[in-house]
């Protein structure tokens, strides 16, 4: 049994290796290698290629997407559910990574004693989170090495063939996207912070700042670049990045907030650098005692704005230090030298903090003045982060219009980037959010436009108010019932099996409630359900009038209808009944389609059907009913004939009239019998009276009583005959419905 499931048979042609049309049958194991000794051919026992090499060692390298599971279990389908799920997970990991990396820019902090240090706790937390994010990038590289790709030569028709050869997959990946993924997966910040920077000579703060800029260019940009092809893959696979409109709007808002987060971090880092520049300038006046290393703390990794602000503050310190040439050295601004006696004596007599005050005007801080004035660089991490985030969001949304810059080139370059990036991202955010939010109301807007067009058309044609109100009422009810969705168009575009399943789900129970169909098997009911079409009727709508041709049979889902007949407009004749959920109307069409030789194009309706309230129904048109009616002949004739008569409103009306006429005849016969009996009683009395009179006195030939009795009898017979004739005309005037032919047609 193990050998039975170890391999399976695959038959294919090698057009490029075999001359002729011979078919080579090869057995392959589940890993794609050929089973030895299983090569055979119609034209020989051994087949070699044009170079004389045997095909025994040939490995299957291409399959269709539906066959790759049986051939290569270790290779993933790029359009399969596993890759789709991983792409979404990796997209979330990329967003987290892009959010974490700018947090390194918040590592440098400004101490009260005019030096820059690095927050150790934040450094450890960011290292752990960044290491976890790097694991996802490494897993992405593994997936890329084990994901098949569609052969370009097979894209002419259909989905194409998947290349499952591991060597070809690796070669293609190494030549295209491997190096970007590899650079993005490198744990550069962790290695540089904990290994490289502590072992570098010189100022640690300067080295750290340079490393931060290197990381931004070398690694953050590739990670940002990976977002766009990944989003494109998800859109190609599923149609959208997110399945709901609110999630799509939130996704675009997150991207906008991410840009604000990055800008705020950059502003913080630049403000620290600006303050350092101020210190250095102040320190340059105090040579040779002032050293730049006095302003340096241990390690700096942070965000762009934060880095620039620190640089600006450092520049101010240097400026202040330059004014104190007697004792200031740049190394005094390194927190390692805080306990240095020379620094302590210098700091007590120095006015570097006064010179680097943005309100004093001694040094142009520009857009980084708020960071120094509010002490952002010396605040707690949460206070520092949220202020920088607000700074980025505010200036990104205002396109940098409220930025007051100095003449510093780097500061103006940063302001230009803020304004340009804000303009682009704000336009993208508004456009994407509008698209996502409008997707929920696009049908409503289309319905409103269509309704406006309808109103204009009715006004142009000068329709009366009653017709306008009916049209508006129908449009309103159709929108409430369908929400603007064209169900027929949606179902029509689906495959046959899905259409059958959907129609069965919608209509099966309804059709089962129809007594005429409850004896059918599932195959027949599926055929009926496939051909049913939804129909909507508003209150007061007349579905069919008496005498009009019937072209569809309706099965009621919801609502009630009034069905009545006047027997062709006969005075004094009226028959009415109610049709509710589960009932049907238009049975005249069924009798017509069951007639093998109909002499009319469409049957005439014997009743008028009018909607009492809003009605939802399924319609079966005459062409579809012809197919369904052919299935009736397979059933028992007596059962169907009985049910058809019992549930047909036409048959019920005819039966009621027939019973009513019979009852009238019975009552009139009874009245006639009583009158005849009365006549028989009156006749002997008149004869006896006549005999007595003849004995005594001869009376006139006819007495008054006898004459009255004779007239009464004659009138009674005449009335009976007239009434009998009227009853017969009542029944004959309401024509008996035609019998549907449920018998099997002999061919």
pLDDT tens digits along 634-654: 554 566 666 666 666 667 777
Cβ(400)–Cβ(422) under 8 Å? yes
Tracing tokens 């897993």 back to the chain, one arrives at 139
What CA–CA distance (Å, rounded) separates 366 from 363? 9
First to last CA, the chain: 54
Give Cα 509 to chain centroid, integer Å: 27
pLDDT for res 743: 54
User: What strand order describes the sheet that includes 584-585?
Assistant: 533-537, 615-621, 552-558, 584-585
pLDDT for res 374: 80
pLDDT tens digits along 598-635: 777 888 888 889 888 888 888 888 888 777 776 655 55
Is 0.75 surpassed by the pTM of this model?
A: no
In a domain, 687, yes or no: yes
53/17 same-domain check: yes
Cβ(283)–Cβ(330) under 8 Å? yes
524/638 same-domain check: yes
pLDDT for res 103: 83
User: Peptide bond preceding 573: is omega within 30 degrees of 0, i.e. cis?
Assistant: no
**What is the dihedral sign for C-alpha 17, 19, 23, 26?**
negative
625/671 same-domain check: no
Best CA proximity match to 619, nearest among 502, 483, 510, 477: 510
What CA–CA distance (Å, rounded) separates 257 from 359? 31
Cβ(310)–Cβ(276) under 8 Å? yes
Cβ(358)–Cβ(317) under 8 Å? no
CA distances from 109 to 18, 211, 389, 558 (A): 74, 17, 17, 71
pLDDT for res 21: 40
Among 628, 646, 664, the domain boundary falls at 646
Best CA proximity match to 320, nearest among 353, 273, 347, 292: 353
Structural domain of residue 144, as residue ranges?
81-241
Q: Is 80 exposed, middle or buried (0-12, 13-18, 19+ CB in 10 A)?
A: middle
pLDDT tens digits along 471-499: 888 887 777 667 677 777 888 888 888 88
Among 189, 217, 241, the domain boundary falls at 241
In a domain, 267, yes or no: no
3-state secondary structure 259-322: HHHHHHHHHHHEEEEEHHHHHHHHHHCCCCCEEHHHHCCCCCCECHHHHHHHHHHHHHHHHHHH
- Enter the DSSP assignment of 92: H
Question: Which tops the pLDDT comparison, 723 or 737?
Answer: 737
Vertex 290 angle, CA 288 and 296, to 5°: 140
- Read off the pLDDT of each residue in 266-270 and give the average, rounded to a whole number: 81
Among 200, 224, 241, the domain boundary falls at 241
99/227 same-domain check: yes
532/623 same-domain check: yes
122/156 same-domain check: yes
- Comparing 226-230, 331-335, 433-437, 739-743, which segment has the lowest mean pLDDT? 739-743
54/170 same-domain check: no
594/664 same-domain check: no
- Tell me the average pLDDT of the chain: 70
pLDDT for res 738: 61
Tell me the three state secondary structure of residue 579. strand
637/657 same-domain check: no
Tell me the three state secondary structure of residue 542. strand
Please, which contacts does 545-548 make with residues 24 or more away whose CB atoms are closer than 8 Å?
A: 545/605, 545/608, 546/605, 546/606, 546/607, 546/608, 547/604, 547/605, 548/604, 548/605
Cβ(579)–Cβ(602) under 8 Å? no
Residue 95 has pLDDT above 60, yes or no: yes
What CA–CA distance (Å, rounded) separates 254 from 95? 9
637/660 same-domain check: no
Please, which contacts does 410-419 make with residues 24 or more away whose CB atoms are closer than 8 Å?
A: 410/270, 410/308, 411/270, 411/274, 411/308, 411/312, 411/366, 411/367, 411/368, 414/266, 414/267, 414/270, 414/304, 414/305, 414/308, 414/367, 415/367, 418/263
pLDDT for res 256: 76
Cβ(224)–Cβ(70) under 8 Å? no
pLDDT tens digits along 383-402: 888 888 888 888 888 887 87
User: What strand order describes the sheet that includes 149-150?
Assistant: 62-63, 162-163, 149-150
- Read off the pLDDT of each residue in 527-531 and give the average, rounded to a whole number: 81
Strands of 546-595, DSSP E: 552-558, 561-565, 575-579, 584-585
In a domain, 264, yes or no: no
pLDDT tens digits along 314-366: 776 666 666 555 566 656 666 666 666 666 666 666 666 666 767 766 677 77
Q: For the chain, what percent of residues have pLDDT higher than 70?
A: 58
Tell me the three state secondary structure of residue 203. coil
pLDDT for res 259: 80
Best CA proximity match to 404, nearest among 364, 464, 457, 449: 364
In a domain, 472, yes or no: no
- Comparing 38-47, 96-105, 186-195, 201-210, which segment has the lowest mean pLDDT? 38-47
- Enter the DSSP assignment of 622: H
617/562 same-domain check: yes
Q: Is 470 exposed, middle or buried (0-12, 13-18, 19+ CB in 10 A)?
A: middle
- Comparing 310-314, 319-323, 507-511, which segment has the lowest mean pLDDT? 319-323
pLDDT tens digits along 411-469: 888 888 888 888 887 787 777 777 766 766 677 777 788 888 888 888 888 888 888 88
**CB half-sphere exposure, 451, CA atoms < 13 A:** 18
pLDDT for res 180: 87
In a domain, 448, yes or no: no
Tracing tokens 């369908």 back to the chain, one arrives at 482
Cβ(296)–Cβ(256) under 8 Å? no
How confident is residue 282, by pLDDT bands cut at 50, 70 and 90? low
In a domain, 85, yes or no: yes
- Comparing 11-15, 313-317, 479-483, 546-550, which segment has the lowest mean pLDDT? 11-15
Crossing angle of the two packed helices 649-696 and 587-594, in degrees rounded to 10: 100
Best CA proximity match to 297, nearest among 282, 281, 317: 317
In a domain, 162, yes or no: yes
How confident is residue 248, by pLDDT bands cut at 50, 70 and 90? low
Domain tally, the chain: 4
In a domain, 286, yes or no: no
Backbone angles phi, psi at 124, to 5 degrees: -70, -45
Cβ-based neighbours of 199, under 8 Å, separated by 6 or more: none
Residue 556 has pLDDT above 80, yes or no: yes
pLDDT for res 551: 87
pLDDT for res 277: 76
Q: Name the percent of the chain in helix, strand, coil, to the closest 5.
A: 60, 10, 30
pLDDT for res 644: 62
- Comparing 48-57, 199-208, 328-337, 602-611, which segment has the lowest mean pLDDT? 48-57
95/202 same-domain check: yes
pLDDT tens digits along 674-713: 888 877 776 665 555 555 544 444 444 444 555 555 555 5
Give Cα 465 to chain centroid, integer Å: 40
**Residue 325, both tokens:** 């040439």
Cβ-based neighbours of 104, under 8 Å, separated by 6 or more: 126, 189, 212, 215, 301, 302, 303
DSSP conformation letters of 378-435 = GS-HHHHHHHHHHHHHHHHHTTTTT----S-HHHHHHHHHHHHHHHHHHHHHHHHHHH
Residue 36 has pLDDT above 70, yes or no: no
CATH number at residue 632: 2.60.120.10
- Read off the pLDDT of each residue in 56-81 and give the average, rounded to a whole number: 58
């Amino acid at each position: 049994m193990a050998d039975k499931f170890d391999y399976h048979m695959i038959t294919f042609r090698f057009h490029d290796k075999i001359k002729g049309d011979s078919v080579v049958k090869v057995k392959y194991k589940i890993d794609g290698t050929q089973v030895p000794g299983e090569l055979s051919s119609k034209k020989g026992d051994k087949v070699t290629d044009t170079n004389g090499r045997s095909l025994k060692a040939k490995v299957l390298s291409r399959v269709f997407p539906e066959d790759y599971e049986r051939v290569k279990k270790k290779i993933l389908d790029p359009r399969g559910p596993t890759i789709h799920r991983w792409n979404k997970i990796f997209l979330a990991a990329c967003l987290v990574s892009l959010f974490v990396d700018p947090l390194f820019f918040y590592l440098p902090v400004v101490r009260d004693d005019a030096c820059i240090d690095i927050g150790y706790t934040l450094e450890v937390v960011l290292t752990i989170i960044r290491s976890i994010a790097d694991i996802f990038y490494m897993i992405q590289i593994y997936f890329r090495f084990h994901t098949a790709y569609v052969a370009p030569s097979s894209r002419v028709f259909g989905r194409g063939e998947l290349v499952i050869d591991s060597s070809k997959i690796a070669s293609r990946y190494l030549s295209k996207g491997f190096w970007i993924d590899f650079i993005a997966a490198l744990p550069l910040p962790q290695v540089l912070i904990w290994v490289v920077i502590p072992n570098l000579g010189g100022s640690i703060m300067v080295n750290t700042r340079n490393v931060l800029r290197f990381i931004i260019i070398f690694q953050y940009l590739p990670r940002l670049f990976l977002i766009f092809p990944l989003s494109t893959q998800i859109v190609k696979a599923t149609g959208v990045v997110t399945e709901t409109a609110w999630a799509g709007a939130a996704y675009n808002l997150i991207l906008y907030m991410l840009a604000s987060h990055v800008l705020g971090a950059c502003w913080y880092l630049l403000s620290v650098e600006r303050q350092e520049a101020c210190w250095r300038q102040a320190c340059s006046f105090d040579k040779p005692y002032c050293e730049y290393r006095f302003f340096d703390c241990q390690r700096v990794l942070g965000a762009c704005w934060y880095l620039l602000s620190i640089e600006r503050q450092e520049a101010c310190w240097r400026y202040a230090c330059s004014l104190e040439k007697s004792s200031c050295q740049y190394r005094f601004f390194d927190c390692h030298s805080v306990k240095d006696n020379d620094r302590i004596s210098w700091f007590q007599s120095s006015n570097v903090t006064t010179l680097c005050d943005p309100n004093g005007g001694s040094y142009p801080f520009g857009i980084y003045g708020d960071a120094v004035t509010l002490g952002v660089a010396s605040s707690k991490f949460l206070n520092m982060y949220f202020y920088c985030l607000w700074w980025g969001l505010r200036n990104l949304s205002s396109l940098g219009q409220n930025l007051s810059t100095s003449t510093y080139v780097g500061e103006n370059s940063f302001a230009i980037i803020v304004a340009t990036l804000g303009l682009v991202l704000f336009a993208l955010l508004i456009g994407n959010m509008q698209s996502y939010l409008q997707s929920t109301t696009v049908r409503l807007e289309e319905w409103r436009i269509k309704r406006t067009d309808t109103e204009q058309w009715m006004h142009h044609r000068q329709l009366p108010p009653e017709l306008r109100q009916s049209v508006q009422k129908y449009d309103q009810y159709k929108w409430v019932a369908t929400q603007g969705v064209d169900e027929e168009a949606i179902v029509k575009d689906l495959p046959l099996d899905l259409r059958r399943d959907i129609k069965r789900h919608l209509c099966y129970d309804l059709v089962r409630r129809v007594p005429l169909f409850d004896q059918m098997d599932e195959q027949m009911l599926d055929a009926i359900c496939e051909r049913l079409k939804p129909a909507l009727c508003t209150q007061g709508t007349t579905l069919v009038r008496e005498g009009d041709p019937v072209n569809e049979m309706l099965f009621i889902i919801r609502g009630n209808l009034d069905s009545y007949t006047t027997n062709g407009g006969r005075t004094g004749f009226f028959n009415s009944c109610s049709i509710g959920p589960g009932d049907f109307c238009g049975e005249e069409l069924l009798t017509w389609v069951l007639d093998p030789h109909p002499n009319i194009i469409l049957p005439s309706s014997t009743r008028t059907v009018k909607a009492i309230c809003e009605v939802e129904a399924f319609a079966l048109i005459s062409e579809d009913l012809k197919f369904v009616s052919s299935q009736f002949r397979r059933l028992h004739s007596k059962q169907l004939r009985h049910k058809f008569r019992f549930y047909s409103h036409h048959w019920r009306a005819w039966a009621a009239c027939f019973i009513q006429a019979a009852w009238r005849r019975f009552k009139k016969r009874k009245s006639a019998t009583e009158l005849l009996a009365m006549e028989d009683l009156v006749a002997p009395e008149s004869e006896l009276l006549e005999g007595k009179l003849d004995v005594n006195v001869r009376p006139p030939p006819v007495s008054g009583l006898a004459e009255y009795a004779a007239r009464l009898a004659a009138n009674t017979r005449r009335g009976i005959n007239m009434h009998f004739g009227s009853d017969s005309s009542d029944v004959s005037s309401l024509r008996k419905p035609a019998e549907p032919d449920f018998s099997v047609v002999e061919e």
